[in-house]
């Protein structure tokens, strides 16, 4: 019987960009994110008889190129002497296009692997193991608003507010479904080594985290929006000033920013954030979600709109 886990991607409002330890994949800075509900990765693990190598299917297709990172994640939970596994992963959104698909994939992977092994590990341990696969994945073990802090030997993620405690909505404007040219792991290392703004980015992060934490505690949407947009544009400034520069935006990305700015200027409670890809994520209060989705859907270059409320952390779906 396969064991299946479900995990959602998360979107950082205060971003992580840069590692302090590439070997252990530890982030240089803390971060704050929201976990989405409507998007998911569902991962099933099975130990078939007489399999000599791991086997991975992604949305029903063999995906050998993605296997090494997932196999390393499975090794980190189950040990290198583990049995060979058949891994079946399904995501209901574009993969590797700046929608945090690696976060939901690694979070689902560690939860499913742990369940296969008796399900004894704490959420903290699983979050650290997921973070070794992809830094942002550590946050997908937690629902609602989550904060990741660095601690000496790893990371510690906590829930700031659960998904129902402040029900904001996320509207994603998908402007391209192509796989990104430079993956975030490689890109953030280039930034660390070459951007003249990188040190300043590190120096200001504690301040941005504190402002966002206070805004979330006070449910102050405008204050959260101001610091989240600033932090996002600062991260992209670091990317743009790296050598070679990394510009993930397209003209449609800029058009979406204008749409969000126009809505906000008209009093609509909405702000934007963008990760290592061309998609624009608009956070809004529930009463504004239809209007935001319509306006972004009509923005030139937008291919489709995804909508989501906030969701729960990664979990086992069925064990047996
Ligand atoms: O989890 P990674 O290593 O793919 O890095 C994700 C980095 C950003 O999405 C750009 C920011 C973040 O904090 O999620």
pLDDT digits (tens, 9 = 90+) for 48-103: 988 899 999 999 999 888 899 999 999 999 999 999 999 999 999 877 556 777 89
Domains of the chain and CATH, by start: 3-165 (3.30.230.10), 169-308 (3.30.70.890)
Atom number in ligand 1 closest to CA 10:
14
pLDDT at 180: 72
111 C-alpha to ligand 1 centroid (Å): 20
Q: Which of 12, 29, 133 best tests ligand 1's pocket when mutated (most atoms within 8 Å of CB)?
A: 12
Is residue 276 within 6 Å of ligand 1 at its C-beta?
yes
Instruction: Out of 8, 14, 17, 128, give the residue to mutate to test ligand 1, the one with the largest number of ligand atoms within 8 Å of its CB.
Output: 17
Residue 273 CB–ligand 1 contact under 6 Å: no
For residue 135, the CA-to-ligand 1 centroid distance in Å is: 6
Q: Ligand 1, closest atom to CA 184?
A: 4
Distance 197 CA to ligand 1 centre (A): 18
Q: How many CB atoms lie under 10 A from the CB of residue 130? A: 33
**Residue of 26, 275, 280 best suited for mutating to test ligand 1, as the one with most atoms within 8 Å of CB:** 275
CB 12 near ligand 1, within 6 Å: yes
Strand ranges for 243-314 from DSSP E: 270-273, 280-284, 304-308
**Mean per-residue pLDDT, 278-302:** 97
Q: In 10 A of CB 38, how many CB atoms?
A: 16
Q: Can you say how many angstroms the Cα of residue 65 is from the centroid of all Cα atoms in its chain?
A: 21
Please provide the average confidence, as pLDDT, over all residues in the chain: 95
CA of 1 to the centre of ligand 1 (A): 33
Regarding the beta carbon of 198 and ligand 1, being less than 6 Å apart is answered no
Nearest CA to ligand 1 atom 9: 275
Q: How far away, in angstroms, is 298 Cα from ligand 1 center? A: 28
Q: Say what the pTM is.
A: 0.96
CA–CA separation, 173 and 178 (whole Å): 14
Please write the tens of the pLDDT for every residue from 135-175.
999 999 999 999 999 999 999 999 999 999 999 999 999 99
CA of 183 to the centre of ligand 1 (A): 10
Q: Which DSSP helix (H) or strand (E) runs through 106? A: helix 101-116
Token pair for 224 = 């959260």
Instruction: Specify the pLDDT at position 50.
Output: 83
pLDDT of 1 over the 90 cut = no
- C-alpha 262/C-alpha 121 separation (Å) is 47
> Which residue, by CA, sits nearest to atom 6 of ligand 1?
136
Percentage of the chain modeled with pLDDT above 90: 90
Q: Residue 82 has which token pair?
A: 């583990």
pLDDT of residue 49: 86
Which segment of 30-39, 58-67, 307-316 scores lowest on mean pLDDT?
58-67
Q: Give the pLDDT confidence of 2-20 residue by residue, as tens digits.
A: 999 999 999 999 999 999 9
Please give the Cα distance from 235 to 13 (Å, whole number): 11
Q: In residues, how long is the chain?
A: 320
pLDDT of residue 101: 76
pLDDT class of 179 with cuts at 50, 70, 90: confident
pLDDT at 156: 98
Within 128-266, strands assigned E span 145-151, 154-161, 169-174
Closest-lying ligand 1 atom to the alpha carbon of residue 135: 1
Ligand 1 centroid to residue 184 C-alpha, Å: 7
Q: What average pLDDT score do residues 27-51 get?
A: 95
pLDDT digits (tens, 9 = 90+) for 213-235: 999 999 999 999 999 999 999 99
């Amino acid at each position: 019987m396969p064991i299946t886990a479900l995990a959602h991607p998360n979107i950082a409002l205060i971003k992580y960009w840069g590692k302090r330890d590439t070997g252990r994949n530890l982030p240089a800075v803390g971060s704050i994110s929201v976990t989405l509900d409507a998007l998911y990765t569902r991962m099933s693990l099975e130990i078939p008889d007489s399999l000599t190598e791991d086997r991975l299917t992604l949305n029903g297709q063999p995906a050998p190129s993605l296997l090494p990172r997932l196999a390393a994640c499975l090794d980190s939970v189950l040990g290198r002497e583990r049995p060979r596994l058949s891994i079946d992963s399904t995501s209901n959104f574009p993969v590797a296009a700046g929608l945090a698909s690696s976060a939901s994939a690694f979070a689902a992977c560690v939860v499913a692997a742990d369940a296969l092994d008796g399900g004894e590990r704490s959420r903290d341990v699983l979050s650290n193991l997921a973070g070794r696969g992809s830094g942002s994945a550590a946050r997908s073990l937690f629902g609602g608003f989550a904060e990741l802090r660095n601690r000496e030997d790893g990371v510690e993620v906590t829930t700031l507010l659960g998904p129902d405690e402040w029900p904001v909505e996320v509207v994603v404007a998908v402007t391209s479904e192509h796989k990104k040219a430079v993956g975030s792991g490689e890109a953030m290392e280039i930034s660390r080594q070459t951007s003249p703004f990188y040190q300043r980015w590190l120096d200001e992060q504690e301040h941005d985290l504190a402002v966002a934490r206070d805004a979330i505690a006070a449910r102050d949407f405008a204050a959260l929006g101001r610091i989240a947009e600033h932090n996002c544009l600062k991260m992209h400034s670091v990317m743009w000033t790296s050598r070679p520069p990394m510009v993930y935006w397209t003209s449609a990305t800029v058009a979406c920013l204008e749409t969000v700015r126009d809505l906000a200027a008209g009093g609509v409670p909405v702000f934007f954030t963008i990760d290592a890809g061309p998609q624009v994520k608009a956070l809004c209060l529930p009463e504004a979600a239809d209007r935001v989705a319509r306006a972004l859907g009509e923005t030139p270059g937008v291919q489709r709109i995804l909508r989501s409320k906030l969701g729960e952390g990664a979990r086992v779906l069925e064990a047996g």
